[in-house]
Amino acid sequence: MKKICIIGSLHWDIVVNTNKIPKKDETASGSKVHYLFGGKGGNQALSSNRYGSDTYFIGRIGKDNFGKKILKTLKKSTIDIKQLQVGSEKSGMSVAVIDKKGNYKATIVSGANLSIDYKKITLKKNTGILLLQNEISEKINLIAAKKAKEINCEVWINAAPARKINPKLLELIDVIIINKVEAEFYKKSLFQNKFNKITKVITLGSKGLEVQFPDGDHKKIQAFKVKVKSTHGAGDAFIGAMASYKLRGNNFISCLNYGQAAAALHISSTIKQRNKILEKDILDLIIKNKT
Ligand code: RIB
């Protein structure tokens, strides 16, 4: 079976539950704090690995305590981390606040993620999908995408957070996954005729998603209705699961549905329960929804 390569960010996340997300100049009282493994790259790697894909990860951490915690989580998975770089920089981290409805705001400090050494990146010949995000430097994304094309590997990007994308990189992308806010940002650049060969997936939270295919076909897919506990990392759960299902030869629409089910289970589970979600739970939810 082909492998999935994820090159991206690793963060140690500090996630605070609060009754109210503070406004400007306001201090709000939080009710709980969670210290979690994170970073879009890391989260997507865990998700793709959890749902059965042979996943290898390339990224960078520091030698500090956050780096040690990130490493411990990666080591508990079966992700191949032989190309994980360790530097003298501070490890990446994020701070997020989440209110009772699951609304979420966050800030990241990239640290070591921005010092990935491109000379140490090797894409294995049997890689089927290279998955990138925007939390590392664009130079790395471009170099990696070029290497991917040399071995006939698809390039997927979760272009988050939104930032201007080099047209040279856009030309190498097969699939882009963005949310509603990011789609607004990319409206002018991405949706031009020139980039029609990119499959665009726009996630819409509880409203599901829209997909636009290179042949002009487009579809809207409904989200699964679940009680939300927290939306933190939901997009990453979706992308990792979807890429994993695609790698196993499934058609794109069923992969989107599979990813949506994985995200639904993720947002309706507690942090402890999330680590125990299995492929069987995803398939059960899909069947339940059809009947
Ligand atoms: O998508 C969620 C992730 O974004 C968090 O884990 C946080 O670290 C940020 O990178």
The Cα 139–Cα 163 span in angstroms is 13
Atom of ligand 1 nearest to the CA of 38: 6
**Alpha carbon separation from 96 to 10, 11, 13, 134, 228 (Å, rounded):** 15, 12, 7, 18, 17
36, 95, 178, 236, best to mutate for ligand 1 pocket (most atoms within 8 Å of CB) = 236
> Which residues make Cβ contacts (< 8 Å) with residue 214, sequence separation at least 6?
196, 197, 198, 199
Residue 217's pLDDT is: 94
The Cα 76–Cα 269 span in angstroms is 20
Residue 38's pLDDT is: 97
Answer whether 134's CB lies under 8 Å from 108's CB: no
Residue 291's pLDDT is: 74
DSSP state of 136: S
Residue 290's pLDDT is: 82
SS3 4: strand
Residue 104's pLDDT is: 80
Q: Where are the alpha helices (DSSP H) in 83-123?
A: none
The Cα 31–Cα 68 span in angstroms is 27
9, 94, 203, best to mutate for ligand 1 pocket (most atoms within 8 Å of CB) = 94
User: Which residues have C-beta atoms less than 6 Å from ligand 1?
Assistant: 9, 11, 13, 38-40, 43, 94, 106, 108, 135, 233, 235-236
Domain with 56 in it: what CATH number? 3.40.1190.20
Average pLDDT for 72-98: 97
Q: Is the pLDDT of residue 58 over 90?
A: yes
Model pLDDT for residues 244-255, shown as the tens digit of each residue: 999 999 999 999
Residue 174's pLDDT is: 97
Residue minimizing CA distance to atom 7 of ligand 1? 39
Amino acid at 63: K
Instruction: Tell me: cis bond preceding 214? Omega within 30 of 0 counts.
Output: no
**Alpha carbon separation from 229 to 37, 233, 267 (Å, rounded):** 18, 12, 6
**Alpha carbon separation from 118 to 86, 91, 148, 149 (Å, rounded):** 13, 18, 14, 16
Question: Kind and range of the H or E element at 81?
Answer: none
> Which residues make Cβ contacts (< 8 Å) with residue 158, sequence separation at least 6?
40, 44, 131, 132, 133, 134, 176, 177, 178, 235, 236, 239
Q: Is the pLDDT of residue 147 over 90?
A: yes
Residue 230's pLDDT is: 80
pTM to 2 decimal places = 0.96
Q: Which two tokens stand for residue 28?
A: 């709000």
- Provide the residue range defining the domain that includes 13: 3-290
Distance from the alpha carbon of residue 38 to the mean position of ligand 1, in angstroms: 5
Residue 263's pLDDT is: 97
Domain count, the chain: 1
Counting residues of the chain whose pLDDT is more than 90, the rounded percentage is 89
Distance from the alpha carbon of residue 247 to the mean position of ligand 1, in angstroms: 24
Distance from the alpha carbon of residue 93 to the mean position of ligand 1, in angstroms: 9
Distance from the alpha carbon of residue 99 to the mean position of ligand 1, in angstroms: 16
Residue minimizing CA distance to atom 1 of ligand 1? 233
| Cα–Cα nearest to 37, from 11, 18, 5 | 11
Residue minimizing CA distance to atom 2 of ligand 1? 233
The mean pLDDT value of the chain amounts to 95
Q: Is the pLDDT of residue 110 over 90?
A: yes
Residue 189's pLDDT is: 82
Residue minimizing CA distance to atom 9 of ligand 1? 39
